[in-house]
Amino acid sequence: MPSLNYRWQDLPGILGLAGFYGLLAKVVLNYFSASGNVTLIWFSGGLGLAVLLQKGLRYWPGIFIGAFAAGLMVDDPLLLSASIAVGNTLESVCAAYLLKRNPRFSVSLSEPQHFLWLALIGIICSVLSAGIGPWSLWLAGFVATEHVAETALHWWMADLFGIIFTTPLLLIWHDWPNNWFRINRLPETLLFVGFTILSGQVLFFDWFVTQLSFTPLPYWTFFFIFWGAMRFGRHGVALALAITAFQALYGAAHHIGRFAYDLEESDLFNFWMYMAILSSCSVILALTVHKNRQVAQGLLESERRLKAIIDTSPTPLALNDDQQNILLLSPAFIKIFGYTLADIPTLADWWLLAYPEPVYRNWVAETWQQRLAAAKLSEDHQFEAMEISVRCKNGETRIALVSAHPLGVSFADTHLVSLHDITELKKSEKAVLESNQLLQTVLETLPIRVFWKDRDSRYLGCNALFASDAGQPSSRDLIGKDDNQLNWREQAAIYQADDRQVIVSGVGKLAYEEPQSTPDGNTIWLRTSKIPLRNSEHETIGVLGIYEDISENKAREDALAQSVSLLMATLEATADGILVVSLQRQIVSYNQRFFDLWQLPNTAVGEDKDDTTLLHLAVKQLKTPTSFSIKSRHSTITRIKKVTT
């Protein structure tokens, strides 16, 4: 049993239910009960169940209070009233609980099975009240032992009548019809209500009984029930039943009409049978019509939705059957290809116009039939799409990707054919292919190696020079591999570390030198640059790199360095002091022997490499410094003249 969460807002509803329940019970027991406690009609039970279904089980105190008050109002003892109230409450609570947990039942009461489940649960749960009430009356001395079984049967029939009559009426009219009183429906609504009331007056109030004695009056009600079901749906049937029941009971209470003496003769058994059968058949009829209308409305909406989808779809669509008839062409089909259904009523007409070249037309027709047959034999009925060239009505040629889709078991011989216009896509693919070929040509003519990798340092492409360095026959053989699978696997960790640095930082690493192992086992030197490889959204998706082989330059630099080192060693090893000065009087080179012979400090050569300071220090150590200076200047002038000459 679900938890019951009470709120102060529920109190008016509970008290209102108690008031209506007790008042309705008081009226029934006063006017339609021979003994004052037992009757064949119990509208209060249907009222209580309807409220519990709509508002929730927490409203059960309203049923108990109303039933308890009804017992007191017919002068039942306090304990007897409480016992009967317990039975009535248990019946409604159990029925509501079972119905709410039943997935085949809905409070909307929109399908016949909903009413059937309501009636079935009512048949079962009415036993609770019919078991407690009569036995309580017997224990209190209100019913003789020989009448207990009959009383229990009448009690059960009364509660069941309330469930199959009152509960559907309240559930259906919980939602007020919104189209009865429109201008175009108001006259028919008034006629329906008026004639239903008039029919009841004739049948249950003896209006025109003499003039209409030749007609079977009890069957008139079925005409208005049918009218209500077909034109006003569930609400019309429920209203007609309510009017009929009210008029019949009013006539019975005043001893007129068809059931004038039914209370005295059979305790309203004839009324019970008449209304039970009429109510059950009418509600099932109304719900069947309502369900069929919902299905029809759903199909109509689906058809409209499908038509809207087809009309607004940018993809050309066509419907054709196994007899090769074309049933429908979408607006997109007509717009793109130009043909209408009048131009191509069959596939043969379509093939003749769309594929004017006979050989190609035969290939299309044969391939279409083969793939259609293969799709029917496959488990998933998947049609293998085919690419075709279509001649449009205006003479233009369009490329389309054709696919067919079966429409299910109900339309097994009908196919929805889609012709995706891929003309522009093909043009774009051709342009991209040409651009890639041009780019590849440029890459192949460059004297440098070019490569690009993904974020996991797997190669995505390269030029032929790079593939050759990697020991691969072509650039395609390199795709998907990483540095650990190539000749330079010994340097793979270094290369991949550089890749990660560029990818993570988003900053290129330019013109740095690194070694590389060659296929013959030698090591060469590279000058490498790597930059982030980005997509159209400026996201880093890998790394782009280039490098050039600088091994020869590296060898020349090493040779030059070795020559310079040898020269410097020779200068230092000679016994002569050597000082090399340029024509601009800049000290180019010297050896230590020069400083030792002249007894000069090592600081004599400044950072500017000018020979002025060195010359002054050397002159001070001469015996004839003036003569040396003149000779030195003359020698310098002579050298300048020789160089100039």
Residues 166, 195: one domain? no
Residues 65, 161: one domain? yes
Choose the final residue of a domain: 145, 172, 199. Answer: 172
Which domain, by its residues, includes 30? 10-172
User: Could you tell me if residue 307 is inside a domain?
Assistant: no
Residues 195, 263: one domain? yes
Residues 360, 402: one domain? yes
- Nearest CA to 92 out of 63, 130, 133, 58 is that of 63
User: Could you tell me if residue 372 is inside a domain?
Assistant: yes
Question: What average pLDDT score do residues 542-558 get?
Answer: 81
CATH, residue 587: 3.30.450
Choose the final residue of a domain: 147, 172, 197. Answer: 172
Question: What average pLDDT score do residues 444-464 get?
Answer: 89
Residues 33, 107: one domain? yes
Give 586's strand partners: 610
User: Could you tell me if residue 130 is inside a domain?
Assistant: yes
Residues 318, 285: one domain? no
Residues 38, 95: one domain? yes
Give 530's strand partners: 509, 545
pLDDT of res. 335: 92
Residues 52, 164: one domain? yes
**pLDDT tens for residues 501-548?**
999 999 999 888 888 777 777 777 888 999 999 988 889 999 999 888
Question: In sequence order, what DSSP letters do the residues of 259-273 get, joined into one string?
Answer: TTTHHHHHTTHHHHH
User: Could you tell me if residue 514 is inside a domain?
Assistant: yes
Choose the final residue of a domain: 114, 147, 172. Answer: 172
User: Could you tell me if residue 637 is inside a domain?
Assistant: yes
Question: In sequence order, what DSSP letters do the residues of 72-94 get, joined into one string?
Answer: HHTT--HHHHHHHHHHHHHHHHH
Judging by DSSP bridges, how do beta strands 397-406 and 386-391 pair with one another?
antiparallel
Per-residue pLDDT for 410 more than 70?
A: no
User: Could you tell me if residue 363 is inside a domain?
Assistant: yes
Residues 191, 168: one domain? no
CATH, residue 99: 1.10.1760
CATH, residue 511: 3.30.450.20
Number of domains in the chain: 5
Per-residue pLDDT for 37 more than 90?
A: no
Residues 47, 88: one domain? yes
**pLDDT tens for residues 287-320?**
998 888 888 888 888 888 888 888 888 889 998 8
Residues 461, 585: one domain? no
CB atoms within 10 A of CB 499: 22
Per-residue pLDDT for 274 more than 80?
A: yes
Reported pTM: 0.58
Residues 533, 597: one domain? no
User: Could you tell me if residue 569 is inside a domain?
Assistant: no
